[in-house]
Copies of this chain bind each other. A is one copy, B any other.
């Protein structure tokens, strides 16, 4: 699907933002800092790109057919690094908030893209939250520096790219008929992921089991209110070949989550409870493992730190994603060789991916040898 920028802005009501921040600044922050422009500084650009979902996406509390998204790039000395912010609505960011945040940044003050910690410290200091917007900067910086070093980040991190895990493929909550059809479509994938947390939980699992004996991982999205019933359900799920359960209880119920982890026959993975690096320490003893997502933790740098810290604590690590393009998915995939599980199917759910990158072959994540985050531009949007 081709996206016409002006039409896009008009149809999504972004003119309001554009008129306050100037249309140019929607596409290039450098325009917002004309007086400071350094020829040798980093140049950040960004463009909104609403993702079209192939299927209506149903969670415990919502359903939708698009995901708001902003694509970024950083230009420096003839190199271009690409990044992305994906904003599922329940996390509180939007195209408006991301553009507002990115418009505040003056990356042009930095003349060395390798100063990622310093740059991201600055980005973090501009405002709290805005993790997807921050990730969009961090991913572009990694793509840029990886390209300068002519190496993909899985190499720079010294990972063994043969060790990439299989990715799970999400089967949305739906009628038995649609679920069976989705399971059939998921034929190439070796692990299925199911979102539970509704009255239909057992029916969903039974429906999948009626057509497939593949391992299932379960994401409850805080949907079970009671720890004893959660434990009972987990014992039932274990019998059904489920391999782990993600965020079964509300993230605020720390003692209950710790109790469940201690008593559960399956690993309990923290997702909503574990956003950034500082949460890893808090998750130890409460969860068996953590789900790292670039859009929660402000990018690849912090994700790599979280992965390292969690493994040092003996915790399981899952690399997850939002609905996002091959840009953020390929960036996340760079970390996957050292993860226990991956849920990197976000780009497969959309019909307007402007990039190619990491591929899934027979269910397994396959990293390319391309530098940086390992993507190619299929459709040039900016």
Contact = CB atoms under 8 A, between A and B. Distances in A.
Interface stretch (A13-21, A111-119, A168-176, A217-225): A111-119
Nearest to A158: B116
Contacts of A305: 308, 312
A252 B173 CA distance: 54
B149 A281 contact: no
A135 to B, nearest CB: 15
Contacts of A278: 312
Nearest to A155: B114
A160 B277 contact: no
A118 B163 CA distance: 10
A277 B149 CA distance: 28
A13 to B, nearest CB: 38
Contact of A118 (B118, B160, B314): B160
Contacts of A36: none
A298 interface: no
B158 A115 contact: yes
Interface string A149-163: 111000110111000
Interface string A66-108: 0000000000000000000000000000000000000000000
Contacts of A117: 158-160, 338
Copy tally for this chain in the complex stands at 2
Interface in A299-329: 301, 305-306, 308-309, 312-314
A159 B145 CA distance: 13
Interface in A104-142: 114-118
A280 interface: yes
A310 to B, nearest CB: 9
Contacts of A145: 158
Contacts of A149: 149-151, 156
Q: Indicate the member of A116, A158, A160, A278 with the most B CB atoms within 10 Å.
A: A158
B308 A114 contact: no
A250 to B, nearest CB: 24
Nearest to A300: B158
Interface string A222-244: 00000000000000000000000
Nearest to A315: B281
A85 to B, nearest CB: 20
Given A114-B151, A156-B156, 11 more contacts: A114-B155, A115-B160, A117-B338, A149-B149, A158-B301, A281-B312, A308-B309, A309-B309, A309-B312, A309-B313, A312-B312
Interface of A: 114-118, 145, 149-151, 155-156, 158-160, 277-278, 280-281, 301, 305-306, 308-309, 312-314, 338
19 contacts: A114-B156, A114-B158, A115-B160, A116-B158, A117-B159, A117-B338, A118-B160, A145-B158, A149-B149, A149-B151, A149-B156, A277-B312, A278-B312, A306-B312, A308-B308, A308-B309, A309-B309, A309-B312, A309-B313
